A = this chain, B = another copy of it.
Amino acid sequence: MIDTPRLVDQYCHGVLRTELGLGTFEAHLGPAAVLPASGTTFFDTQTGFAVRRWCPPLLGLEAHCPPARYLARRRELGVAETGRRLLRGAGVGTYLVDTGLPGDLTGPAELAAAGRGRAHEIVRLEPLAEQVADTSGTVDAFLANLTEAVQDAAVRSVAFSSAAAARCGLAAGAEAPGRADVRRATGRWLADRPAGGPLDSPVLLRHLLWIAVGAGRPLQLHTGDRDPGALAGFAAATSGLGADLVLLHGSPHHRTAARLAGAFPHVYADLGAALAHTGARAADVLAEVLELAPFGKLLYSSGARALPELHVVAASAFRAALGRVLGSWVLDGAWSRTDAQRVASMIAADNATRVYRLG
Interface-side segment among A13-21, A44-52, A126-134: A44-52
A233-252, CB < 8 A from B = 250-252
Q: Can you list 12 A-B pairs with a CB-CB distance of less than 8 A?
A: A30-B262, A34-B263, A40-B294, A44-B294, A50-B334, A252-B258, A278-B291, A279-B291, A279-B334, A281-B290, A281-B291, A285-B291
Contact indicator B333/A63 (Cβ below 8 Å)? yes
Q: Does A36 belong to the interface (CB within 8 Å)?
A: yes
Contact indicator A53/B334 (Cβ below 8 Å)? yes
Residues of chain B contacted by A291 (CB below 8 angstroms): 46, 251-252, 277-279, 281, 285
Q: Does A259 belong to the interface (CB within 8 Å)?
A: yes
Copy tally for this chain in the complex stands at 3
Chain B CB within 10 Å, residue with most, of A37, A63, A292, A346: A37
Contact indicator B53/A333 (Cβ below 8 Å)? yes
Q: Does A147 belong to the interface (CB within 8 Å)?
A: no
Partner of A280, one of B266, B284, B329: B329
Query: Nearest CB to that of A274 among chain B residues?
Result: B291
Contact indicator A290/B46 (Cβ below 8 Å)? yes
A274 to chain B, nearest CB (A): 9
Query: Nearest CB to that of A287 among chain B residues?
Result: B281
A252 and B251 contact, Cβ closer than 8 Å, known pairs A265-B34, A265-B35: no
